[in-house]
Amino acid sequence: GHIDRMAAGDAEALLQHYRRRKRDGSLLDVETHRSPDGSLVRTYTDVTASVAAEHALRESETRFRALADAAPALIWVSDDEGRQTWFNQRWLEYTGRTMREELGLSWASRIHPDDYQRCYDTFRLAFSERQRYSLEFRLRRADGGWGWIVDSGIPRHLPDGRFDGFVSYGWEISERKAAEAALIAAKEEAERANRAKSEFLSRMSHELRTPLNAILGFAEVIERQLLGPSGVPAYATYAQYISESGRLLLSIINDMLDLSKIEAGRMELHVETIDAAEILDRVSHLVKGFAHNIGVKLETRCEGDGITLRADPQLTIQMLVNLLTNAIKFTPK
């Protein structure tokens, strides 16, 4: 061997570099250096720790890749310069390419054109700051279609703390994206329907006011004539009921015109002190004709004089009319 040739005087037989293990198990790197005058210098460096670290790193990398290949996530690895260096089996199956083909592609050819620049900017920022990132993009599938992926990148570091690139985990979220799109479409359709409803209410409110104003006008004319010398007082009272009912209806229609209140689910109150007996009398007049036609007797009684309450008079009348109308409708004759 080279030792025998060296002992025979062949200086060139000495190995320039080799590694030997000592009896205690430690490893030495042996290097031979020749000076211009022909003399030799040999150095011995203990590399036990660094070799063990390299071995542990290789084993760790092997275990990581084995686990990553078995994972359902789409996993890829980049180096400390941002270049892709490895893709797991799930990624290759999803894209329908081999490792060699995948490593030869640019990200611009994988990602949907509408998503590429946003993804590039996010990755470069995370890379420069050595920070985690998360982004969503459309990735070309093996069938040629696009699948939505949410990708999370985690910076990797060597045992000595040096940055070593990113490992990124991706999950397909196409079904979630489809559900989100359907929800947005439903929301837009609901808003469109709501706008159509508001426009309809606005038009109908204006159109209802025209004949109602005519009814109110003629009711007042009839009321004045019937209150004259040749008039019939009972009919004049009926005309008053028509006028009062018409004014209530006109007030309701005016409320409908304020669409902002309807859409906000908010009613503005005009609270004042009102006389309970007067309110009951007005309500009784409004529903008495309906009760008579149904065959229901309606009596109004207020216990005591001067009873007042703080309320919105118009809304109080509307509320009581609704309650009494339902009561009359469902009461036997």
Higher local confidence (pLDDT), 230 or 318? 318
* pLDDT band with cut points at 50, 70 and 90 for residue 201: confident
| Alpha-carbon gap, residue 171 to 152, rounded angstroms | 9
Check residue 261 and give its pLDDT.
60
Q: Distance of alpha carbon 225 from its chain centroid, rounded?
A: 66
Edge-to-edge strand order for the sheet containing 146-157? 84-87, 74-78, 163-172, 146-157, 133-140
* pLDDT band with cut points at 50, 70 and 90 for residue 267: low
Res 3 pLDDT > 60:
no
Please give the average per-residue pLDDT across 303-321, as a whole number. 86
Cβ(269)–Cβ(315) below 8 Å: yes
- As a whole-number percent, the residues of the chain with pLDDT over 90 amount to 29
Res 38 pLDDT > 60:
yes
Distant-in-sequence, close-in-space partners of 241: CB < 8 Å, separation ≥ 6: 285, 286, 288, 289
* pLDDT band with cut points at 50, 70 and 90 for residue 94: very high
Residue 92 phi, psi (nearest 5): -65, -40
List, as one string, the DSSP characters of 280-306.
Answer: HHHHHHHHHHHHHHHT-------SSSS
| Alpha-carbon gap, residue 239 to 224, rounded angstroms | 9
Please give the average per-residue pLDDT across 315-330, as a whole number. 86
| Alpha-carbon gap, residue 326 to 312, rounded angstroms | 21
Higher local confidence (pLDDT), 19 or 102? 102
Check residue 258 and give its pLDDT.
62
* pLDDT band with cut points at 50, 70 and 90 for residue 301: confident
Instruction: Retrieve residue 25's tokens.
Output: 């198990």
Q: Exposed, middle or buried, 69 (CB in 10 Å: 0-12/13-18/19+)?
A: middle
Cβ(274)–Cβ(311) below 8 Å: yes
- As a whole-number percent, the residues of the chain with pLDDT over 70 amount to 79
- The three-class DSSP label of residue 316 is helix
Check residue 242 and give its pLDDT.
80
Instruction: Retrieve residue 104's tokens.
Output: 């030869």
* pLDDT band with cut points at 50, 70 and 90 for residue 159: confident
Residue 246 phi, psi (nearest 5): -65, -40
Check residue 52 and give its pLDDT.
60
Please give the average per-residue pLDDT across 65-78, as a whole number. 83
Check residue 231 and give its pLDDT.
61
| Alpha-carbon gap, residue 189 to 195, rounded angstroms | 10
Comparing 35-44, 129-138, 324-333, the range with the smallest average pLDDT is 35-44
| Alpha-carbon gap, residue 84 to 199, rounded angstroms | 57
Q: How many helices (H) and strands (E) does the chain have?
A: 10, 10
Please give the average per-residue pLDDT across 284-307, as a whole number. 82
Q: Exposed, middle or buried, 274 (CB in 10 Å: 0-12/13-18/19+)?
A: middle
- The three-class DSSP label of residue 268 is coil
Q: What is the mean pLDDT of the chain?
A: 80
Question: For the range 109-114, what are the long-range contacts, defined as Cβ-Cβ under 8 Å and sequence gap of 24 or more?
Answer: 109/140, 110/139, 110/140, 111/137, 111/138, 111/139, 111/140, 112/137, 112/138, 112/139, 112/140, 112/146, 114/138
Res 124 pLDDT > 90:
yes
Alpha carbon distances (Å) from 7 to 1, 18, 29, 289, 297? 10, 18, 22, 135, 136
